Amino acid sequence: IHHHQKFMRATNEGPGWTADFRVLIGSVDRDLDDVNAVPGVLDPDDYTASQAEGRALRAAGSDGLVWNSVRMPGGGCIGIFWPDVITIPVQGRHYSYHWDGARVDFVRQHDTGKVLAVT
């Protein structure tokens, strides 16, 4: 949602259901580098440190990174450097985002039709 909101603000689009997103499900059976303790990597707005760390680890032959989500408490994120690190994904749930002109305020889950408020 964070990056879609940034895009929508930059395009000055009017309100409405704007985009469909699909969850992709795959598995990773490799050791990924945990970058949670690297200074600056978890900054939610400035990617300078995280990009520098990613470049250095990739150049050193790392398969990818793992870190704690900065926008979803309790969530985790991965960054994969090579296509063979993750299995071919299958589609999971399908969502639509509603843009109110300033932010994403609702998410619709297609398989259930449920509309969830974004807080």
pLDDT digits (tens, 9 = 90+) for 95-106: 999 999 999 999
Q: Which residues of the chain have pLDDT under 50?
A: none
For residues 52 and 98, membership in a common domain is answered with no
For residues 63 and 107, membership in a common domain is answered with no
State how far the Cα of 98 lies from the Cα of 111, in Å rounded to an integer: 17
- The answer for 101, left when phi > 0, alpha when psi is -120 to 50, beta otherwise, is left
State how far the Cα of 55 lies from the Cα of 57, in Å rounded to an integer: 6
Percent of the chain with pLDDT over 70: 100
Tell me, what's the pLDDT at 12? 83
- Antiparallel, parallel or unpaired: β 90-99 and 16-25: antiparallel
Provide the 8-state DSSP code for 45.
S
| Overall domain count for the chain | 2
Measured in degrees and rounded to the nearest 5, phi and psi for residue 45 equal -120, -25
For residues 45 and 74, membership in a common domain is answered with yes
For residues 18 and 44, membership in a common domain is answered with no
Tell me, what's the pLDDT at 94? 96
